Amino acid sequence: MRIQRHKMGVDDFELLTIIGRGAFGEVRLCREKTTGHVYAMKKLKKSEMLRRGQVEHVKAERNLLAEVDSACIVKLYCSFQDQEFLYLIMEYLPGGDMMTLLMRKDTLTEDEARFYVGQTVLAIESIHKHNYIHRDIKPDNLLLDRYGHMKLSDFGLCKPLDCSSFPNLSENDYGVGKDIKPTLDSDKHSNMPSAPRRTQQEQLLHWQKNRRMLAYSTVGTPDYIAPEVLLKKGYGMECDWWSLGAIMYEMLVGYPPFYSEEPMSTCRKIVNWRTHLKFPEEAKLSAEAKDLISRLLCNVAHRLGTKGAHEIKVSILQLSQVSIDPLYW
């Protein structure tokens, strides 16, 4: 039930622990004084949103969250502002996020991954039905409730990927679709010497060392961004299905498919995905899992989900007996 009894303000809430920080501000637990209900309060600095040109974007997303009524999307209960900040009172999910779960477990089993991928499909489908493209889905904004079910949050409200810090990428410059000898963490455009190929375990340890720092940086990480978004071409809802493929890869392998030490190198690998998408033998993925990931991390024209979420739902149900509540479908 939405909080709509009277005009709300920050004084209506007892402020508790800070549970997250971003480029625009912070997220903290809060308790509504009259009811004792606990929520997550996002406190976004207006001057920072203005500086980044994100005011209209945030307003549109706030309206979307208020409009969408889905069990797969974190609920927005109310919003208000003062001279300095915009406040969003959100549903609080005590189970943490997928990023933390992956840091704790390293990898998931294929049945676990398919369960969470299935729930992510439902969340993405629910925003697509409202003609909204997320563009930056990643483990950080896949939140878990007390029962372990997943909900999608953070529709660009915490930090957008600052693509302006990267030079313009082009398919011709970076050899997309060409038969180029694969490299790991560097390419012909890098000034760094070629690094020896890491084992899966070495790459996993390196990723874990940098993961939380990347999550809370003010720039963000490009690891889950679709190539058509990085290329600044026209893009549609299909870009969110690419992100799903990158997340599923990380769930099963332990790190994203195009991870590099430098964000620019990651971008180049994504744009040149034909050369760089590889499945380490040590991960022992099933042929079915590799096939599903490969059909998400591919050209837009061939990408699963391009004709609707039902394509991916059918693939998940065919691959496993994992239980996904049919009421959601």
Same domain, 135 and 231: yes
Q: Whole-prediction pTM value?
A: 0.80
5 is a domain residue: no
Q: Write the CA distances from 143 to 12, 39, 50, 98, 151, integer angstroms.
A: 26, 14, 28, 6, 5
Per the structure, the complete domain to which residue 113 belongs is given by 98-319
Instruction: Give the mean pLDDT per block of 10 residues along the chain (329 residues).
Output: 70 94 86 97 90 77 80 91 93 93 92 93 91 87 93 63 54 42 36 52 66 58 92 89 97 94 92 95 90 96 94 81 50
Same domain, 252 and 297: yes
Please pick, among 12, 97, 136, 240, the residue that the annotation labels catalytic: 136
- Report residue 48: phi and psi, to 5°: -70, -40
Same domain, 77 and 142: no
Same domain, 85 and 102: no
Same domain, 105 and 64: no
Q: Is 42 annotated as a binding residue?
A: yes
Q: Give residue 186's pLDDT.
A: 35
Residue type at 31 in one-letter notation:
R
203 is a domain residue: yes
Domain tally for the chain?
2
Q: What is the pLDDT of residues 98-144, one digit of tens each?
A: 999 998 998 999 999 999 999 999 999 998 988 888 888 999 889 99
CA 276 to chain centre: 21
The CATH number assigned to the domain holding 296 equals 1.10.510.10
Same domain, 82 and 45: yes
CA torsion, ordered 15, 17, 247, 328, to nearest 10 deg: -50
Give yes or no: 240 in active site.
no
Same domain, 37 and 125: no
Q: What is the pLDDT of residues 210-235, one digit of tens each?
A: 666 665 554 568 999 999 999 987 88
Same domain, 26 and 159: no
327 is a domain residue: no
The CATH number assigned to the domain holding 68 equals 3.30.200.20
- Please state, for a pLDDT cut of 70, what percent of the chain lies above it: 75
Q: Is 39 exposed, middle or buried (0-12, 13-18, 19+ CB in 10 A)?
A: buried
The residue with tokens 């809802």 is 237
